[in-house]
Amino acid sequence: MNTYGKFAQEAWRTTAPAEYALIPDPQVWFEALGEEAAQRVGELMMELAGPDPVGETYLEKVGRLNASKMQAEEIVRAEMLTPDPSVREEPGEDEDPESGMAETLEEMKELNRIYRDFLDESAQEEAERP
């Protein structure tokens, strides 16, 4: 499973566990989603980068392509890899609102950790490519 699939699986597991439990074979489903996301990132990255400007230096091109990749990944994460806000679990009515805030904060911390791991793995995969 690629980093996009891992990110999506962890995001669904932590923010929409009831819907995650409904997926018949999460490993296969998130592997396929990860592959589809990787393809979409590649397509979107090239669209966002656009054609090479005349006179662009090597470092400028690297910066432009890296920026378009990061932007494409952000778009794909929001559109494909995270559960729709309508299916994310909310605290029950009988729960203390403060505990809900604490849970939300913990979920945000967890998603930030997942995102950092995702970026680290992406950078490592990029560095390992020939």
What is the residue extent of each domain of the chain?
3-128
With residue 124 as reference, give the H or E element that holds it: helix 97-128
- The structure tokens listed for 129 are 């490519």
Cα 85 to chain center, whole Å? 15
Say which range, 30-39, 60-69, 81-90, 113-122, has the weakest mean pLDDT. 81-90
Say which range, 10-24, 63-77, 114-128, has the weakest mean pLDDT. 114-128
- Please tell me which residue, 53 or 102, carries the higher pLDDT value: 53
Mean of the per-residue pLDDT values of the chain: 85
What's the CA gap between 60 and 15, in Å, rounded?
38
pLDDT at position 35, please?
Answer: 96
DSSP letter assigned to residue 88: S
Q: Kindly tell me if the per-residue pLDDT of 18 is higher than 80.
A: yes
Report the half-sphere exposure of 33 (CA within 13 A, side-chain side).
24
